[in-house]
Amino acid sequence: MEVLYRSTRGNGSTVTASNAILKGLSEDGGLFVPDQIPALEVPMEQLAQMSYQEVAYEVMSRFLTDFTEEELKKCIQSAYDQKFDTDVIAPLVKADGAYYLELFHGSTIAFKDMALSILPYLLTTAAKKNGVTNDIVILTATSGDTGKAAMAGFADVPGTKIIVFYPKDGVSPIQEKQMVTQKGDNTYVVAIRGNFDDAQTGVKKIFNDSEMKAELADAGYQFSSANSINIGRLVPQIVYYVYAYANLYKTGQIQPGEEINVVVPTGNFGNILAAYYAKNMGLPIKKLICASNDNKVLFDFFTTGTYDRNREFILTTSPSMDILISSNLERLIYRIAGNDPEKNKVLMEELTKDGAYHITDEMKAQLADFYGNYATEEETAETIRKIYKDCGYVIDTHTSVAATVYGKYTKETGDTAKTVIASTASPYKFTRSVMEAIDEGKYASMGDFELIDQLSEISGVAVPNAIEEIRNAEVRHNTVAEVAEMPAVVKNILGIK
Ligand SMILES: *Cc1c(COP(=O)(O)O)cnc(C)c1O
C-alpha cells in the first residue's frame, strides 16, 4: 500500500516519500508525516533470522513506498557497510539490569550515523527519481553530533553541498574538533554565537525565506535538511528498535509478543518518535521512556500538558540534548490533535509567539504510552561511576541520563518488564565528562587525548577510528558568525550576491 506524506500545518495535500525527503521541511513550515503508519506484518521468527540490512529493508520499504526494491536495497547496502566497526551494526549489551542498544558504531561514534549514513543515498536517489537538476544544499543546525555525522555522509557526494551551524560554546571539545577538521570540498562549518535553538530557528527561517529560495534557484541550488525534521532521518531510526526486539527474541530473552520498555535520551524528540512509530507498526513496546537532562522541558510537558520554553538554557555535560525547542514533538502533537493541521498550527504559532502552549486533557490522555523524567548533572555523573564500578561498562553522559531516568522509573512503578536503553554515543565522544564522573581527582588535570588513552585502559575498549583520525588532524574550518548573519553566510558560501 502506498504511503504518502502530508504537512503537520498543511491543507491536506500529499507528496511522495522521495519528495518529502527532498524538501526536508514543508513550505508551510510544517513537518512531513506519513498519512498512515504501516503495519510491520513480518513474523518475528523471520525478523530474528535477518541481518541489520535485511530488517532495514523490511521496515523502510513500508514507509518509502515510491522507492523501488533495487533503489532502496542499494541505499541500504551502501550505508550499512565497513563504515561500521561491527557486522551487527547495532549490538545489544546486557549490563546493570538493562539492555544497552549501542547505536554508536558508525563513523562518527554517535547514533546520528544510524540515519545519516543512509540519508545522502536516499536524497540523491530521490533527486534522480524526481528529475532534480539543481545542486542540493544541505543546511544543518547541530547540537554537536548531527553536524559531523551529516558531513561524514555528504562529504564529496556529487551534486551536494553541506553547511553546518553549531553553537560556539555549546559542544564538547571532541565534537568541535571532529567538525572543524572535516574534509571534503563541499563541506562548510560555521560556529555561531548563540545556542542550539538559535541555530535551529535560524536554519528554519532560511528554509521559509521565499526570496532566498528564488535567489538560490537562479543560481542552480535548492535546500534540503539533514536534521531530524527530514522524514529521511526518522524512518531509518525505526529500524534499530525492530532489530533490537528481534535480537532479544532470537536469543530467548523474551517470549513471543512480550512487551519491552524503551528508554531514549531525548533532545529534538526524533529518536523517541521513531520508537513510537515502531510501536505503532505493531512492535510490542510497553512504555516509551523519555529522558531529559536539566533542560527538562519535555518532562514538564508530559507532567503538566504545558510546553514552555521560557526558561534558562542550561549547558550540560550531555550537550546533544541541550535543546528547549524539540522540533519533532510537533509530529506527536499533530497526531494527538487527531491529525488536525489547524489545531496543530495554532499551538505551534503560540510556541513561536509566546514560547509556550497548553494541550487539552483529551490530547494529554493520548500520551499514556510515554513516561518522562530527567537527570541532574550530579545524578548523571553518579550513574556513570556506579555502572562502571559494578559492571566495568563505561557509558557516555547522554546514555547515563537515560540510565538514570530508567532507575527513577522502576523505583516509581515497580515495572520489571525487560528494557532497552538507547545508547546514543560512545564514551569516547565525551571523554572528559565521563572520566571526571568516574574519578574527578585522578583525571581532572589530564589533557583530552591523555584521557582518551586512560579510557581505553579502564574500559578495555580500543580507541575508535573516529578519535584516532582527529588526534593530529588539521583545522580546516574557523568561521564564527552572529545568528543574524546566517543567511548572509549561506549566500557567501554559495557565491550569491
Ligand atoms: C542527538 C542526540 C541525542 C538526542 O536525540 P534526539 O533525536 O534529538 O532526541 C541524544 N544523544 C546523543 C548522543 C545525540 O547525539
Contacts of 341 (CB under 8 A, 6+ apart): 6, 7, 8, 9, 10, 11, 12, 30, 334
Side chain identity, residue 443: Y
Please indicate, yes or no, if residue 271 is contained in any of the structural domains: yes
Instruction: Quote the domain boundaries for residue 236.
Output: 92-107+232-461
Per-residue confidence (pLDDT) for residue 227, from 0 to 100: 87
CA of 320 to the centre of ligand 1 (A): 5
224: β partners: 138
In angstroms, the CA 399 to CA 404 distance is 9
Under 8 Å CB-to-CB from 188, ≥6 apart: which residues? 161, 162, 163, 164, 477, 479, 493
Instruction: Give me the mean pLDDT over the 205-232 stretch.
Output: 92
Q: What is the mean pLDDT of residues 441-447?
A: 95
Strands 160-167 and 187-193 turn out to be parallel
Best of 113, 145, 370, 433 to mutate for ligand 1, by most ligand atoms within 8 A of CB? 145
In the predicted structure, residue 176 carries a pLDDT above the cut 90: yes
Tally of structural domains, the chain: 1
Please indicate, yes or no, if residue 478 is contained in any of the structural domains.
no
Flag whether pLDDT at 384 surpasses 90.
yes
Band (1; pLDDT cuts 50, 70, 90): confident
Cα(112) to centroid of ligand 1, in Å? 7
Within-domain flag for 26 = no
In a domain, 151, yes or no: no
Please state whether beta strands 260-265 and 285-292 pair in parallel, antiparallel, or not at all (unpaired).
Answer: parallel
Within-domain flag for 181: no
Quick one: pLDDT at residue 439?
A: 96
Q: pLDDT > 90: what percent of the chain? A: 95
Mean residue pLDDT of the chain comes to: 96
Q: Which atom of ligand 1 is nearest to the CA of 228?
A: 7
Residue 289 has a pLDDT of 98
What number is the average pLDDT over the span 464-487? Answer: 94
Q: Is residue 37 part of a domain?
A: no
Ligand 1 proximal residues by C-beta, below 6 Å: 110-112, 145, 228, 265-271, 320-321, 398, 424-425
Check the CA dihedral 175-177-180-186 and report its sign.
negative
Spatial separation of the C-alpha atoms in residues 201 and 215, rounded to whole Å: 21
Say how many C-beta atoms besides its own lie within 10 A of residue 471's C-beta.
12
The answer to whether position 215 is within a domain reads: no
Q: Can you spell out the DSSP letters for 223-244?
A: EEE-STTSHHHHHHHHHHHHHH
Looking at residue 46, what is its pLDDT? 98
Give the mutation target among 176, 268, 330, 374 for probing the ligand 1 site: most ligand atoms within 8 A of CB: 268
Per-residue pLDDT tens for 417-431? 999 999 999 999 999
Q: From the alpha carbon of 323, which atom of ligand 1 is closest? A: 8
Condensed to tens digits (0 to 9), the pLDDT of residues 388-415 reads 999 999 999 999 999 999 999 999 999 9
| Eight-class DSSP state of 95 | E
pLDDT exceeds 90 at position 144: no
| 257, pLDDT greater than 90 | yes
User: In terms of pTM, does the model score above 0.85?
Assistant: yes
For residue 273, the ligand 1 atom closest to its alpha carbon is 7
% residues pLDDT > 70 (the chain): 100
- Amino acid identity, residue 29? G
Helix axes 119-129, 231-250, angle to 10 degrees: 130
Tell whether the model's pLDDT for residue 462 goes beyond 90: yes
Alpha-carbon dihedral angle through residues 495, 119, 103, 326, given to the nearest 10 degrees:
70
Q: Which pLDDT score is estimated for 318?
A: 97
Residue 318: closest CA among 232, 417, 427: 427
CATH number, domain containing residue 378: 3.40.50.1100
> What stretches of 305-447 show up as alpha helix (H) in DSSP?
329-336, 341-354, 361-364, 377-391, 397-413, 431-443
Q: How confident is the model at residue 228 (pLDDT cuts 50, 70, 90)?
A: confident
Cα distances (angstroms) measured from residue 425 to each of 60, 105, 229, 259, 355: 23, 9, 20, 25, 30
User: First CA to last CA across the chain, in angstroms?
Assistant: 46
Q: Residue 200: what are its φ and ψ, rounded to 5°? A: -65, -40
Predicted confidence band at 8 (pLDDT cuts at 50, 70, 90)? very high
- The per-residue pLDDT for 412 is 98
Residue whose C-alpha is closest to residue 238's, from 264, 276, 289, 266? 276
Q: Give per-residue pLDDT as tens, 81-139.
A: 999 999 999 999 999 999 999 999 999 999 999 999 999 999 999 999 999 999 999 99
Nearest residue to 291 (alpha-carbon basis) of 281, 280, 279, 302: 302
Tell me how far apart the alpha carbons of residues 146 and 150 are, in angstroms, rounded to a whole number: 6
Band (pLDDT 50/70/90 cuts) for residue 166 is very high
Q: How many angstroms does the Cα of residue 208 sit away from the middle of ligand 1?
A: 25
- What are the CA-CA distances from residue 298 to residues 58, 75, 293, 305 (Å)? 31, 34, 10, 10
Confidence at 143, pLDDT banded by 50, 70, 90: confident
pLDDT digits (tens, 9 = 90+) for 29-80: 999 999 999 999 999 999 999 999 999 999 999 999 999 999 999 999 999 9
Ligand 1 mean position, distance from CA 322 (Å): 9
**Ligand 1 pocket test: which of 320, 404, 428 has the largest number of ligand atoms within 8 Å of its C-beta?**
320
- Ligand 1 atom 1: residue of nearest CA: 320
- Rounded to an integer, the average pLDDT of 475-491 is 96
pLDDT, tens digit (0-9, with 9 covering 90-100), for 289-313: 999 999 999 999 999 999 999 999 9
Average pLDDT over residues 204-212: 91
Ligand 1 center to 398 CA (angstroms): 8
- Residue 138 domain flag: no
